[in-house]
């Protein structure tokens, strides 16, 4: 289905691929607005594509593997039906399909997770037995570590659906990404922003990525104007760390990098699903060499207690955020 955007001037329309949720369409328009700020004569159409992750609302996300919200968009892009595809970077595999590249990563929105709940209580003050919803094994493990008094329940759906379920339909609250709440204008429902060095987010959280064909040089030139250099360094470090686990992970994992001047600091997290065994560490290096930072993070993980978790991760490559 092609959605009719505001008239973006005359000329052949560039086809922007997207999932169909309200958040995905807002993200499309963020990308379109930034492209038009540099090239006002560009004309766009947004084509929505139903992905496997959107179609299957019953399976556990953790068992479906990374890329379930991406593959169909990539197929349309490779076929030439789309010119670019807009993704939440955290949904993307570390290895892209042959012939595709990340043409741009935009400046990062708030990378943190947030807590919403009907008691309007911070995490450490939630009553015993409070049901907090999430489909993320990483969030579930972190909840069990930092709020053992709560009961973790599984909820799925887009942001609005999960908020509705968290108002008492299926849970008393939920953990969601701050970036989505901000983009949807729903920050008035946030009870608490959870620190990223404790509730370590998945690689790429808060980052919009624009995927394009590697041989579409004109499109890549347009995209280079909206690429954020520091965000790309951060994203590269986080995704390179995940790739060193084998490109996916069967245990809860997080990685959060921040550039400051000429350095980059990354916090990494891995744990068992029950949160009983976990590993967290920080590494610092040159921001212009994010691959080296990822290598050092992986070395520390293996050396200082995470080797068993890495072994489990490489046995089963179903990525779990």
Most confident of 4-8, 39-43, 61-65, 204-208: 204-208
- 211 shares a domain with 189: no
17 within a domain of the structure (yes/no): yes
- 63 shares a domain with 134: no
* Mean pLDDT rounded to a whole number for the chain: 88
Confidence of residue 309 (pLDDT cuts 50, 70, 90): confident
Confidence of residue 304 (pLDDT cuts 50, 70, 90): confident
- The gap from C-alpha 60 to its chain's centroid, in whole angstroms, comes to 17
CATH code of the domain in which 132 resides: 3.40.190.10
DSSP letter string over 262-283? TEEEEEEEEE-TTSSSEEEEEE
For residue 206, give the 3-state DSSP assignment: coil
Q: How confident is the model over 246-250, as a mean pLDDT?
A: 59
DSSP letter string over 18-60? E-SSHHHHHHHHHHHHHHHHH-TT-EEEEEE---HHHH--SS-
Q: How confident is the model over 262-270, as a mean pLDDT?
A: 96
Find out whether 64 and 56 touch, Cβ atoms under 8 Å.
yes
Find out whether 47 and 18 touch, Cβ atoms under 8 Å.
yes
Which comes out higher in pLDDT, residue 204 or 61?
Answer: 204
E strands in the chain: 2-3, 13-18, 43-48, 84-88, 100-105, 113-117, 131-133, 151-153, 173-177, 192-194, 208-213, 253-260, 263-271, 278-286
160 within a domain of the structure (yes/no): yes
200 within a domain of the structure (yes/no): no
- 224 shares a domain with 91: yes
Query: How many residues are given for the chain?
Result: 321
Mutual orientation of helices 22-38 and 217-224 as an angle, nearest 10°? 90
Determine which helix (DSSP H) or strand (DSSP E) holds 74, and give its type and residue range: helix 71-79
Note the pLDDT of residue 12.
79
117-155: pLDDT as tens digits: 999 999 999 999 999 999 898 999 999 999 999 999 999
180-216: pLDDT as tens digits: 999 999 999 999 999 998 999 999 999 999 999 999 9
Note the pLDDT of residue 318.
46
Please give the structure tokens belonging to residue 287.
Answer: 């921001």
Which comes out higher in pLDDT, residue 311 or 22?
Answer: 22
Q: Report the C-alpha gap between 86 and 102 in whole angstroms.
A: 10
- 221 shares a domain with 259: no
Q: How confident is the model over 88-97, as a mean pLDDT?
A: 92
Q: Is 11 left (phi over 0), alpha (psi -120 to 50) or beta?
A: left
pLDDT of 313 > 70? The answer is: no
Pairing mode, strands 173-177 and 131-133: parallel
Percentage of the chain modeled with pLDDT above 90: 72
Confidence of residue 68 (pLDDT cuts 50, 70, 90): low
Q: Backbone phi, then psi, for 168, in 5-degree steps?
A: 115, -15
- Residue 91 is among the residues annotated as catalytic for this protein: yes
- 255 shares a domain with 188: no
155 within a domain of the structure (yes/no): yes
- 251 shares a domain with 224: no
Report the number of distinct structural domains present in the chain.
Answer: 3
Note the pLDDT of residue 7.
40
Q: If we measure between CA atoms, which residue out of 204, 180, 157, 137 comes closest to residue 54?
A: 157
For residue 100, give the 3-state DSSP assignment: strand
Q: If we measure between CA atoms, which residue out of 218, 214, 183, 207 comes closest to residue 14?
A: 218
320 within a domain of the structure (yes/no): no
Confidence of residue 248 (pLDDT cuts 50, 70, 90): low
Find out whether 285 and 296 touch, Cβ atoms under 8 Å.
yes
140 within a domain of the structure (yes/no): yes
pLDDT of 104 > 80? The answer is: yes
Find out whether 282 and 265 touch, Cβ atoms under 8 Å.
yes
Percentage of the chain modeled with pLDDT above 70: 87
Which comes out higher in pLDDT, residue 110 or 19?
Answer: 110
- 161 shares a domain with 94: no
Which comes out higher in pLDDT, residue 102 or 305?
Answer: 102
Q: Report the C-alpha gap between 146 and 144 in whole angstroms.
A: 6
Q: How confident is the model over 21-35, as a mean pLDDT?
A: 96
Q: Which residues contact 63 (CB under 8 A, 6 or more apart)?
A: 318
What strands, in cross-sheet order, belong to the sheet with 263-271? 253-260, 263-271, 278-286
Q: Report the C-alpha gap between 60 and 137 in whole angstroms.
A: 10
Question: How many other C-beta atoms lie within 10 A of the C-beta of residue 148?
Answer: 9
- 223 shares a domain with 173: no
- 254 shares a domain with 220: no
Note the pLDDT of residue 308.
76
- 64 shares a domain with 188: no
CA atoms within 13 A on the CB side of 250: 10
- 164 shares a domain with 52: no
150 within a domain of the structure (yes/no): yes
Question: How many other C-beta atoms lie within 10 A of the C-beta of residue 280?
Answer: 16
- 177 shares a domain with 144: yes
Q: Single out the catalytic residue among 28, 47, 83, 91.
A: 91
CATH code of the domain in which 276 resides: 3.30.160.40
Which residue range(s) make up the domain with 32?
2-106+207-228
Q: How confident is the model over 286-298, as a mean pLDDT?
A: 96
201 within a domain of the structure (yes/no): no
């Amino acid at each position: 289905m092609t959605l009719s955007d505001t008239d973006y001037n005359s000329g052949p329309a560039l086809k922007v691929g997207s999932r169909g949720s309200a958040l995905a369409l807002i993200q499309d328009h963020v990308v379109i607005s930034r492209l038009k700020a540099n090239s006002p004569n560009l004309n766009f159409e947004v084509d929505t594509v139903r992905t496997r992750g959107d179609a299957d609302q019953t399976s556990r996300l953790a068992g479906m593997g990374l890329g379930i919200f991406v593959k169909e968009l990539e197929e349309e892009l490779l076929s030439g039906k789309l010119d670019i595809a807009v993704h939440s970077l955290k949904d993307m595999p570390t290895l892209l399909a042959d012939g595709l590249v990340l043409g741009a990563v935009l400046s990062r929105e708030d990378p943190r997770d947030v807590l919403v709940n009907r008691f309007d209580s911070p995490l450490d003050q939630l009553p015993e037995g409070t049901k907090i919803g999430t489909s993320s094994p990483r969030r579930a493990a972190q909840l069990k570590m930092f709020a053992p008094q709560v009961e973790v329940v599984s909820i799925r759906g887009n942001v609005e659906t999960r908020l509705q379920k968290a108002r008492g339909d299926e849970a008393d609250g939920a953990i969601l990404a701050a970036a989505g709440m901000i983009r949807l204008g729903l920050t008035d429902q946030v009870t608490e922003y959870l620190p990223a060095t404790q509730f370590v987010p998945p690689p790429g959280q808060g980052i919009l990525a624009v995927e394009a064909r590697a041989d579409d040089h004109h499109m890549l030139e347009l995209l280079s104007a909206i690429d954020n250099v520091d965000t790309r360094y951060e994203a590269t470090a986080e995704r390179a760390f995940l790739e060193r686990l084998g490109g996916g992970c069967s245990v809860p994992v997080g990685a959060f990098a921040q550039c400051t001047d000429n350095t980059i600091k990354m916090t990494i997290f891995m744990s068992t699903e029950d949160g009983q065994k976990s590993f967290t560490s920080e590494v610092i290096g040159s921001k212009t060499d994010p691959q080296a930072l990822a290598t050092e993070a992986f070395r520390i993980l293996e050396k200082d207690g995470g080797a068993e978790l890495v072994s489990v991760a490489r046995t089963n490559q179903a990525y779990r955020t």
